Amino acid sequence: MKEIPDESIHLMVTSPPYYNAPFDYPDLFRDYDDYLSMMKDFCGELYRVLAPGRVACFVTDDMLVKGEKFPVVADTTRAMIDAGFRYRDRISWVKPKGYVRISRRSGVLLQHPYPMYYYPDNIQESILVFQKGKFDYSYTRKLSLETIEKSRIDVDKYNSEDWYLTVWNITNVLPLGDRLEKGIAAFPEEIPRRLVKLFSYYGETILDPFLGSGTTAKVAKDLGRNSWGYEINSRLKSVISKKLAMSPEKASVGFSKLRNERPSITISGRKRVKIVPKVASS
């Protein structure tokens, strides 16, 4: 992410590829070691661009590929700690009961109702929260009253929607029908909306290095934040543009192509949205 200056990012919210997830990223990586190598390189670069005391959030989960379960959550945590981050929290995003996208593993026991045939269906994903050191709260004294007020968190919503728990019940986005995200592994806007409100101030800069359909950038724009985003799939440019256009907030959006000619996207929410080609992969 050479385009991003050192320590200029105030929050990262992203959902990296779930290794070689059958429906979303089949055979994207040569093997699991290849995936881990990319993540380790990325975590080191993330440490460079993230400002001191600031937070990085991953929406991710363990992945079942060709009958083998890969410990993505544990290995992502290890990669971030090795890069110098503090492990702060883990939130479980729970989807509506009965939603099963990858496989109906639990049906095995219905066919063979005996011990050792139990394989549970997964309706949760992990939101991993890491921090670069500790936040200096004297920083807030440098902010204007307008910025402070525009960053205020709705305490009634915080309580009524159970933001304070380590379990968030949020309806998922199904990539079906006429949805803009059809065929794309997108998380619901509510996840980045909560994280952006909880961990950044109005006018600050958000990063999503695995941009996908542009959900994080759109939410950043909605909430008066600037943002950077990277995406290697150039075909998503039109989807990202449409999603950003849905935001009621005005901001310029710029797409650029990196020298390695990989598609990337950078977006700044309040004043400008910049989009560049490339994802933080090797």
Q: What is the pLDDT of residues 86-134, one digit of tens each?
A: 999 999 999 887 655 545 677 788 888 889 888 888 889 999 999 999 9
Is 262 within a domain? yes
Q: Which whole number is the average pLDDT over 276-282?
A: 37
Under a CB-based contact definition with an 8 Å cutoff, are residues 137 and 144 in contact? no
Q: 131: which 2 tokens?
A: 């921090």
User: Cα separation of 165 and 141, whole Å?
Assistant: 29
| Domain annotation covers residue 112 | no
Q: DSSP 3-state assignment of 150?
A: helix
Of 11-20, 108-117, 150-159, least confident by mean pLDDT is 108-117
Q: Give the domain CATH number at 149.
A: 3.40.50.150
pTM: 0.87
Rounded Cα distance, 6 and 15, in Å: 22
Domain extent for 233 = 9-97+123-277
Structural domain contains residue 106: no
Pick 215 or 187 by higher pLDDT. Answer: 215
Looking at the structure of the chain, the number of domains it has is 1
Judging by DSSP bridges, how do beta strands 252-257 and 272-277 pair with one another?
A: parallel
104 within some domain: no
Closest among 165, 173, 229, 162 to 11, alpha carbons compared:
229
Euclidean distance between CA atoms 50 and 265, whole angstroms: 18
**52 found inside a domain:** yes
Q: Of 37-51, 96-110, 113-127, 159-173, where does mean pLDDT reach its minimum?
A: 96-110
